[in-house]
């Protein structure tokens, strides 16, 4: 077990480095750089630039080097000083721009993950033990429907209803008052209220998928021989379902944690734009459009880092759940 975990952790750093290389390369792909977009924006306002000024800016921002040298410098800064570079659009170090958003994104993602499992696994158990009942059909229908409707439209719909019912669309994560005073105990209730719509909208997208996987796995498991054997020996139905079937059925869910996190970050971008949430997704789009490469690069790196951590944790959890995995994987 320890050997297996050690092996997984040793893969962690090379994976991250490779990811950062791909990300940096992709972000570099669009033609032009930040100075180009800056100049076109300022020229539109009537300013005139001399070639010397432009050259000076390029040098100032370090955009003259080829992309792999820029990458090397960026990486060196991160490793030696924890410096993620400089955001051109904000005129501040990247980390100070996104530190607050990163915290919020992690909190929101954690809450949504818990919400997803808390909702989907009980429903899946119910559906599989009551196959072809009214409830099963109802949840299957909701599940399919949730997958078919684009997230942002659910967001608009909920906002509309919330506006009709309470007179406030509950836009954004913070109220004006929270932005001024920060979040304290007395306004925690208001803050949590504002989380409801984002959690429902972003959470339901994956919930449907989890319900369908767990339900199918549970049904498969129930028709296996060992369950029949247990049943004929008189093991109680609860033990069969929760101790035998569920444990096996959770396998694909646990192994999918990394993929689900990646899905969460993608899915939340559009929703966050509609709901005006201050999380990483919309910030990234802004950075990409302005070719603010260090900001964009850092945001994708943070997201990828969280996904890799998620995958690592899920691998360890899987090895702990399933002895076959730690046996074969530890060996090769």
Binding footprint of another protein on the chain (CB under 8 A)? 11, 15, 18-19, 22-23, 26-27, 29-31, 144-145, 147-153, 156-157, 159-160, 163, 169, 258-259, 262-263, 265-267, 269-270, 273-274, 281, 284-285, 288-289, 296, 299-300, 303-304, 307-308, 311
**Helix, strand, coil share of the chain (percent; to 5):** 80, 0, 20
Cα(193)–Cα(245) distance, integer angstroms: 36
Query: Quick one: 175 or 271, whose CB is closer to another protein?
Result: 271
Q: How far is the CB of 204 from another protein (least distance, A)?
A: 13
The position carrying tokens 């919330």 is 162
For 160, residues 6+ apart whose C-beta sits below 8 A from its C-beta are 169
Min CB(234)–another protein separation in Å: 27
Nearer to another protein, 138 or 160 (CB): 160
CA atoms within 13 A on the CB side of 200: 14
Instruction: Choose between 148 and 185: whose C-beta lies nearer to another protein.
Output: 148
Smallest separation (angstroms) from another protein to the CB of 240:
21
Q: Which CB atom, from 35 or from 299, has the smaller least distance to another protein? A: 299
Q: How far, in Å, CA of 279 to CA of 108, rounded?
A: 9
At closest approach, how far in Å is the CB of 80 from another protein?
24
Of 120 and 206, the one with the shorter C-beta distance to another protein is 206
First vs last C-alpha separation in the chain = 13
Are 62 and 55 spatial neighbours (Cβ–Cβ below 8 Å)?
Answer: no
How many residues are there in the chain?
332
* Shortest distance in whole angstroms from residue 291 CB to another protein: 8
Residue 87 backbone phi and psi in degrees, to 5: -85, 120
Give least dist CB 38 to another protein, A. 16
Distance CA 206, CA 116 (A): 7
Tell which residue, 80, 85, 113, 115, has the closest CA to residue 98.
Answer: 85
**Non-local CB neighbours of 230 within 8 Å, separated by 6+ positions:** 239, 240, 244
Which residue reads 């506006």 in tokens?
163
Residue 16 or 111: which CB sits closer to another protein?
Answer: 16
CB of 177 to another protein, least distance (A): 23
Question: Which of residues 212 and 326 has its CB atom nearest to another protein in the complex?
Answer: 212
What the block records as the tokens of 228 is 């029949």
């Amino acid at each position: 077990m320890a050997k297996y975990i050690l092996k997984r952790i040793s893969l962690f750093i090379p994976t991250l480095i490779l990811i950062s290389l791909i990300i940096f390369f992709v972000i570099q792909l669009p033609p032009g750089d930040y100075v180009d977009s800056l100049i076109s924006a300022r020229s539109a306002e009537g300013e005139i630039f001399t070639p010397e000024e432009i050259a000076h800016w390029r040098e100032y921002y370090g955009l003259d080097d080829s992309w792999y040298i820029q990458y090397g410098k960026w990486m060196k800064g991160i490793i030696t000083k924890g410096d993620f570079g400089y955001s051109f659009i904000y005129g501040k170090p990247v980390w100070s721009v996104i530190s607050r958003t990163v915290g919020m994104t992690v909190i929101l993602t954690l809450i949504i993950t818990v919400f997803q499992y808390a909702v989907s696994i009980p429903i899946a158990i119910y559906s599989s033990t009551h196959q072809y009942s009214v409830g099963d059909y109802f949840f299957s229908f909701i599940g399919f429907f949730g997958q078919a409707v684009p997230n942002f439209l659910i967001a608009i719909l909920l906002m509309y209803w919330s506006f009709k019912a309470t007179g406030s669309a509950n836009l954004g994560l913070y109220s004006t008052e929270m932005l001024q005073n920060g979040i304290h105990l007395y306004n925690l209730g208001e803050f949590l209220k504002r989380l409801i719509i984002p959690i429902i909208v972003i959470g339901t997208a994956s919930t449907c998928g989890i319900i369908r996987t767990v339900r199918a796995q549970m049904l498969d498991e129930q028709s296996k021989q060992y369950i029949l054997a247990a049943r004929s020996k008189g093991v109680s139905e609860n033990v069969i379902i929760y101790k035998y079937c569920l444990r096996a059925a959770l396998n694909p869910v646990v192994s999918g944690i990394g993929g689900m996190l990646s899905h969460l970050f993608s899915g939340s971008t559009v929703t966050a734009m509609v709901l005006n949430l201050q999380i990483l997704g919309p910030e990234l789009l802004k950075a990409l459009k302005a070719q603010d490469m260090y900001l964009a690069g850092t945001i994708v790196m943070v997201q990828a880092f969280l996904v890799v951590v998620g995958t690592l944790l899920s691998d360890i959890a899987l090895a702990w759940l399933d002895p076959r995995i730690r046996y074969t994987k530890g060996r090769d």
